[in-house]
Amino acid sequence: MTGVTEQDGGSRGFVAATRLVAEREMKVFLRSKGFWIGLAVIVVGLFAISILPTVFGGGETKVAAVGSEAAEALADTGLEVREVADVAAAEALIRADEVKAAVVPDTTGESATGIRVLALDDPPNSVVAALRTAPPVDLLDPAEVGQDQRQLAIMVFAMVFLIVGMSGTAIAQSTVTEKQTRIVEILVSTVPVRALLAGKIAGHSLLTIGQVLVIAVAGPIALRLGGHQELLALVAPALGWFVPFLVFGFVLLASMWAVAGSLVSRQEDLGSSMGLVMMLVMGPYFGVMFFSDNATVLTVLSFLPFSSAIAMPVRLFAGDAAVWEPLLALGLLAGTVVLTVLLASRIYSGSLLHTGGKLALSKAWAREE
């Protein structure tokens, strides 16, 4: 009975110490201007990505017109009009990406304006908005998610992951600061080293969840202001998956940021230990951005732990992932998180009190007590 009591007491002590460190980390960063500036950058970036393409559309939108009625409707709209002989010619221009859309005569009697708008796979909101009365829109290759919508989703998911992932540098910087000022020696005399690591990860993870909640509120507002209301229903399932992927992904990176900070004793040396973690943050970002049109590569990226937080929500948004795929990807990510945290805990314990130059990982592993 005594052994059980001591074990329970030790567990409670570890939890209490972890909570104490987590509260300290959160209070420090909530008082930091950098934290609020970073959050503001994310929110402003969301609004910029959603609104600026509508405001600065890259010049006049090119539109094909079939018949005098269509040409008259497009007069004084500010659109670049190209008159063609028939609907077939207009469709050919759309498929060749020479025009954004086409305004053609309505032969069904459904349109009160006598015209219809043709587009490839995305409703041409800028064209419809330029007309006095919104006519019906027909898509030549209707898809659940258009290419423009897909690119917008990729940019949003990738940008949020990049900024949140890079925010983990604060863990490395705070660890080095504690070592440089010798505060860490006081901390480890009262708090177990593993509780110190767990508290840092827990505190920053809670801050990340708070950031995600702000993004979840700001995102729909930005989409509405940018004229992307149709995206809200489509993005909801993907956003629901993005949150757990982002949280697990951050915990994975947070443990590595903490190790990067523990291996050095001066802020000047921090860059030499952060290279690998930087690659693991930037790699998925560029991988998804560059290979967004390659279904095979994107599928592989959606199952790799360090890139699944971006790639899998993008595939879910596009409707390219089966029901079981996000479950498997999240399971792989969670398993990698557990393994990485265990490894990080040992290395962190062996390197936290090290002073001098950068400590090699092998030596930190051997020094673990």
pLDDT of 228 strictly over 70: no
| C-alpha atoms less than 13 angstroms from C-alpha of 209 in its C-beta half-sphere | 11
pTM: 0.71
The tokens describing 183, both together, are: 């505060």
User: Do 115 and 242 lie in a common domain?
Assistant: no
User: Do 126 and 160 lie in a common domain?
Assistant: no
pLDDT of 6 strictly over 50: no
Instruction: Out of 49-63, 129-143, 240-254, 287-301, pick the least confident.
Output: 49-63
CA 203 – CA 170 distance, rounded (Å): 12
% of the chain beyond a pLDDT of 70? 89
Residue 19's pLDDT band (boundaries 50, 70, 90)? very high
Residue 54's pLDDT band (boundaries 50, 70, 90)? low
Q: Is 154 left (phi over 0), alpha (psi -120 to 50) or beta?
A: alpha
More confident residue, 368 or 134: 134
H runs (alpha helix) in 96-146: 125-130
- Per-chain mean pLDDT for the chain: 82
The tokens describing 224, both together, are: 């509405």
- Can you give the residue range of the structural domain that contains 79? 62-139
User: Do 174 and 321 lie in a common domain?
Assistant: yes
User: Do 242 and 358 lie in a common domain?
Assistant: yes
295 assigned to some structural domain: yes
99 assigned to some structural domain: yes
| Residue ending a domain, choose from 115, 139, 163 | 139
The CA dihedral of 221, 145, 152, 44, to the nearest 10 degrees, is: 10
CA 314 – CA 26 distance, rounded (Å): 31
pLDDT tens-digit series, residues 102-137: 899 888 878 778 888 988 877 777 787 778 777 888
Number of domains, the chain: 2
The tokens describing 143, both together, are: 């898809």
- The dihedral sign for the CA sequence 81, 83, 86, 92: negative
359 assigned to some structural domain: yes
pLDDT tens-digit series, residues 261-291: 888 888 888 888 888 888 888 888 888 888 8
H-run or E-run covering 62: strand 62-66
User: Do 299 and 250 lie in a common domain?
Assistant: yes
CA 296 – CA 58 distance, rounded (Å): 31
| Residue ending a domain, choose from 91, 113, 139 | 139
